[in-house]
Each structure stands twice: as C-alpha cells, then as structure tokens.
C-alpha cells in the first residue's frame, strides 16, 4: 500500500532496489511495521535498467546463436531476422512483469510505500519529497539502500549527446551502426555482445591489460578469443584520453602503450564504473561516516550512527544484486535484534558475467594464490571432456577449483562456459561450508550434465580425474 501521510514505524528503508525491497519483505516477516521509500520504480536499477533488461537482450542474442547451432546439428529453417522493436517489447515485458511482482510483495506483506526522494533529517526522521508533496515519517531503525548510479570519468568531450551510460544502453530505440564501449568489465562485455549480435560494429576498450580483469586470466583469454570470432574488436591496454564529436560521428582518441590510436563510432557507451548514490540523502549533515563517497559500516552493516544501517551498492559504489539482497536481509535482522549480530562471509560471494561463454567465480582465484598466505592446489577440468557439452555443441570452457593444499578445503573457483552461472552455486556452497575436494568428489553428480565438471575438477585436484588422461 502506498502512503502519503505521516506515520511511525519500527523500521524505515530508503531505496526500493534489490537491497531495499528484500529488506522490507524480511522486516515485515519479522512482524515489524515497515516503511519503504522509492523515488522511481520498485526494483531499482537492477530490475528496471540493469540485470533484467540486459539479460532479456542477451537471451535474444542467445536465440540467434542457438539457431545457428541448430543448423549445424542438421535442423534446417530460414535464416532468422531481427525485429528490434519486438526485442525491445520482450525486454519491457520482462521488466514490467517483475516490477508488478515486487509491488504485489509490498502489498501482500503490508509494507507502506512512500513515493519520492528520501532524506534523513534526524536519525529517526525521514522526509519524502515528490513533485506533488513533501511528507515525513519516523522509524526506530533505518536502513539506507539507495544503490549506485553510472560514473563517467573526466574524459574531455564525454558530455557529447552521442555518449550513453549503461542505464541508457538497455533502452536504445535502434541499433547503432557502430559502437565503442569503454570498459571491459561485466557490463561492457555483456552489452558489447548484445549489440554486436544485433549487427553493430563494436569496439571494446579496456584500460587494463586484459578484459574482465578481475577474473581468472584464462577466462579473460577465452572470452576475448570468442568475442574476436564474433566480430568484436578488442583493444586492451588502451586508455581513452579525449572524445571529439563531428556531427553524428565520434572520434575517440586512445593512448595505447604510448601510441595514439583513433576509434570512430556513431555511439560511445561508458561502461567504466558506478558510484554510490548519496545525493541529497542527508548522510553528511547527520555525520554518517563516508569513505570515497560510500557509506562506511561495521561487520553488522551498522553505520556510525547506531540505529542506521546500510546495504547494497551505497556501501561500495559497485556491487552485485544478489549480494545487495543478502545484505538487506542481514541488516534487517541485525537492526531488529533477531540475529544475535550476524556477519556476512564475503569470501563466499559469487559473481557472474552473462556473456557467451558465461564467466562465473567465487572466492580465491588461481592468479591470486601467490599472495594468499598458504599453499594452494588447483584442480581443473575442461568442458571438452564432458558428454553433455559434446551433445550440446558447447565444448568450450572449464571448471577450476582452488583448495588449501594441507586440508583440501575449497577456497574458490572459476567456471567458464555453458551454465557457469548455475554451476557456481555448488562451489559457493562448498566455500561457505568449508567443504573439501573429497566432499565434492564423493558427491554423486548426475550424468550427463555440466555439473559433472565440478566433480571432475575436484577429482583433478586430488590427482585422480577419471575422464582426463594421466599427465
């Protein structure tokens, strides 16, 4: 139910994205009188302008790839055609369906929704301002979940009308003939594949020496190789220094190893980073501690003001929707005193890049083991040796498990390839529960499935992989 008047609540949550609306549901489940403040659509950036519309677009590209694969399998039909208006309707339907679902969750759980911009006036008092009116409410505990917004680096010329951010990229009305993507992290790589699949001439630019630089270098190499085959020009180790606009075209000036390189494109997508959204929130006026624009919290997600907590991207500037939701739940349980002071194990947080091939990871990765302070063992298994991968025509990729050599305890892992976004859940559970290579190896994995790769990687780490020749 939506609210326009004053009120008193047990807990007030500012921000209705993955952290905020999930926190509100959990608070209501615990019997708290709950208020949720949201200036835009419920579901936040993830649902409306990020995770969901981008995955809907990626699914359309996957359909094109499946059609191409089907012809190689002997299935004959006319070449598929792209109706971009129909593609956009598909993405819009997905978003509207999920937004409606969140609205039903608010109503079904008796959560009072305030529509407008929330501002902290006092530690227990929130002002909500909309175009129509300004109102206030009080809450014993408050959780800040205002998320993040795109960050545009100070590159001369990026204020051009031909420059877009990731929020705008999922809502384009037509496919650009050419697109330069600055930033080859998860967002940049995903959207590069989307528009290359729809026919754009795409150049992907990364300042660091490899794309998806936070992931396993082997994953970076495999993904870059695939992107090149898809017609995407990848320029790693290239720093954008200036953007020149001439009519409908952009000239992007790059510094690549001290040499100047020029990329021309109709549209430039800034996919470099995001920053915590605290504008007009009142946190500085209240004296809430900040660090580089992000709200500082303790291990219980409590800010420097005792009754105010924070969860999600507003803590980090960048983040993951699933982590934000989990933090929202933990913050609520800590604020309401039902958890006994719960902390989050940040070593067991999975991350996924929904490219083709998918890239997923959790915990420690192989290139990080040199500085981890203990001896590690790596167990790796290629998808090329899996029956399900061969039958599906998706043989590229691998599973890699990182374990502590002395105990066999699994401390991290990487999956690249078909169903990586699903397979990483088992490895995440192993990391969280302190399971060993033996625990996973002794777990029976269904045949034929991609999940067998996880079991085989555990066996490889133990030196006894079944479906790999002796080294």
Any idea where the domains of the chain sit in the sequence?
2-61+80-149+275-344, 153-271, 347-461
> Taking the mean position of all CA atoms in its chain, how far away is CA 289?
26
**Cβ(165)–Cβ(159) below 8 Å:** no
Nearest to 51 by CA among 215, 206, 186, 212: 186
Q: What is the pLDDT at residue 372?
A: 85
317-370 pLDDT, tens per residue?
Answer: 778 999 999 999 999 999 999 888 899 999 999 999 999 999 999 999 999 998
Nearest to 39 by CA among 103, 114, 111, 101: 114
Tokens representing 70 are 């089907």
The helix or strand, by DSSP H or E, that contains position 28, with its residue range, turns out to be helix 18-29
SS3 string of 159-186?
Answer: CCCCEEEHHHHCCCCCCCCEEEEECCCH
Q: What is the CA radius of gyration of the chain?
A: 24
> Taking the mean position of all CA atoms in its chain, how far away is CA 272?
14
The helix or strand, by DSSP H or E, that contains position 20, with its residue range, turns out to be helix 18-29
Q: For 259-276, what is the mean pLDDT?
A: 93
Q: For 429-441, what is the mean pLDDT?
A: 98
Query: Residue 1 above 60 pLDDT?
Result: no
Q: What is the pLDDT at residue 283?
A: 94
Query: Residue 4 above 60 pLDDT?
Result: no
Pinpoint the alpha helices (H) of 170-229. Answer: 186-197, 217-229
Q: What are phi and psi of 411, to 5 degrees?
A: -115, 0
Q: What are phi and psi of 378, to 5 degrees?
A: -115, 125
Q: Where are the beta strands (DSSP E) in 217-323?
A: 233-236, 238-246, 249-256, 259-265, 267-270, 273-276, 290-291, 294-295, 308-310
CA dist 256 → 153, 241, 249, 405 (Å): 18, 10, 21, 40
Query: Residue 146 above 90 pLDDT?
Result: yes
**Torsion angle, CA of 45/50/51/52, rounded to 10 degrees?**
90
Query: Residue 2 above 70 pLDDT?
Result: no
CA distance 102 to 98: 6
Pinpoint the alpha helices (H) of 30-135. Answer: 44-49, 51-72, 84-108
- Asked if the domains 153-271 and 347-461 are classified in one and the same CATH topology, the answer is no
Using a 10 angstrom Cβ sphere, with 0-12 exposed, 13-18 middle and 19 or more buried, the burial of residue 246 is: exposed
Q: What is the pLDDT at residue 3?
A: 55
Based on DSSP, count helices (H) and strands (E) in the chain, helices before strands. Answer: 13, 25
Query: Residue 247 above 90 pLDDT?
Result: no
- β-strand pairing of 273-276 with 148-151: antiparallel
119-143 pLDDT, tens per residue?
Answer: 999 999 999 999 889 999 999 999 9
Across all residues in the chain, what is the average pLDDT? 94
Q: What proportions of the chain, in percent to the nearest 5, are helix, strand and coil?
A: 35, 30, 35
| Residue whose structure tokens are 């952009």 | 250
Q: What is the pLDDT at residue 225?
A: 97
Q: Could you give the residue numbers annotated as active site? A: 447
347-461: CATH topology is Enolase-like; domain 1 (3.30.390)
| Residue whose structure tokens are 């020009």 | 233
Tokens representing 255 are 């510094």
Nearest to 204 by CA among 229, 228, 233: 233
**Domain spanning 2-61+80-149+275-344: which CATH class is it, in words?**
alpha beta
Report the chain's terminal Cα–Cα distance, integer Å: 64
Higher pLDDT, 173 or 372: 173
Q: pTM of the predicted model, to two decimals?
A: 0.94
Q: What is the pLDDT at residue 340?
A: 84
Q: For 15-24, what is the mean pLDDT?
A: 97
Query: Residue 471 above 80 pLDDT?
Result: no
Is it true that domain 153-271 has CATH number 3.50.50.60?
A: yes
The helix or strand, by DSSP H or E, that contains position 460, with its residue range, turns out to be helix 452-461
Query: Residue 147 above 60 pLDDT?
Result: yes
Q: Is 252 left (phi over 0), alpha (psi -120 to 50) or beta?
A: beta
Q: Which residues 6+ apart lie within 8 Å of 309 measured at CB? A: 141, 142, 143, 144, 297, 300, 301, 302, 303, 331, 334, 335
**Cβ(144)–Cβ(309) below 8 Å:** yes
Q: What is the pLDDT at residue 273?
A: 85
Using a 10 angstrom Cβ sphere, with 0-12 exposed, 13-18 middle and 19 or more buried, the burial of residue 300 is: middle
- Identify the band that residue 413 occupies on the pLDDT scale cut at 50, 70 and 90: very high
CA distance 193 to 171: 15
Q: What is the pLDDT at residue 6?
A: 60
């Amino acid at each position: 139910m939506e609210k326009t008047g004053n009120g008193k609540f047990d807990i007030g949550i500012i921000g209705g994205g993955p952290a905020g609306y999930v926190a509100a549901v959990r608070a209501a489940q615990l019997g708290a009188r709950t208020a949720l403040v949201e200036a835009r659509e419920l579901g936040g950036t993830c649902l409306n302008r990020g995770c969901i519309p981008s995955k809907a677009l990626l699914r359309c590209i996957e359909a094109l790839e499946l059609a191409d694969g089907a012809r190689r399998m002997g299935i004959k039909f006319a070449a598929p055609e792209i109706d971009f208006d129909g593609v956009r309707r598909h993405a819009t339907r997905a978003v509207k369906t999920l937004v409606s679902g969140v609205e039903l969750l608010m109503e079904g759980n008796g959560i009072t929704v305030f529509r407008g911009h929330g501002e902290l006036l006092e530690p227990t008092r929130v002002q909500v301002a909309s175009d129509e009116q300004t109102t206030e409410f009080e809450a014993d505990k408050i959780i800040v979940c205002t998320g993040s917004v795109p960050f545009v680096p100070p590159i001369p010329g990026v204020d051009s009308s031909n420059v877009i951010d990731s929020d705008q990229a999922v809502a384009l009305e037509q496919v650009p003939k050419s697109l330069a993507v600055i930033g080859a992290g998860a967002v940049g790589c995903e959207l590069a594949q989307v528009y290359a699949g729809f026919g754009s001439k795409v150049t992907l630019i990364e300042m660091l020496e490899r794309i998806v630089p936070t992931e396993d270098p082997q994953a970076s190499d495999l993904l870059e190789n695939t992107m090149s085959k898809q017609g995407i020009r990848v320029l790693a180790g290239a720093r954008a220094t200036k953007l020149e606009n001439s009519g409908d075209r952009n000239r992007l000036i790059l510094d690549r190893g001290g040499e100047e390189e020029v990329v021309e494109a109709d549209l430039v997508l800034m996919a470099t980073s995001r920053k915590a959204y605290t504008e007009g929130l009142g946190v500085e006026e209240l004296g809430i501690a900040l660090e580089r624009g992000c709200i500082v919290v303790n291990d219980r997600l409590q800010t420097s003001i005792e009754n105010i907590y924070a969860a999600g991207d507003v803590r980090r500037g960048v983040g993951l929707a699933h982590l934000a939701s989990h933090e929202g739940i933990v913050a609520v349980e800590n604020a309401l005193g039902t958890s006994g002071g719960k902390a989050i194990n940040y070593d067991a947080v999975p991350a996924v890049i929904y490219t083709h091939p998918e890239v997923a990871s959790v915990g420690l990765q192989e290139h990080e083991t040199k500085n981890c302070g203990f001896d590690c063992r790596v167990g790796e298994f290629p998808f090329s040796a899996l029956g399900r991968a061969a039958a599906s025509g998706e043989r590229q990729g691998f599973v890699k498990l990182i374990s502590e050599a002395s105990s066999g305890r699994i401390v991290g892992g990487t999956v690249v390839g078909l169903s990586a976004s699903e397979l990483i859940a088992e490895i995440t559970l192993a990391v969280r529960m302190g399971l060993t290579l033996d625990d996973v190896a002794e777990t029976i994995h269904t045949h034929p499935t991609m999940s067998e790769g996880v079991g085989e990687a555990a066996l490889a780490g133990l030196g006894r992989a079944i479906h790999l020749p002796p080294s």
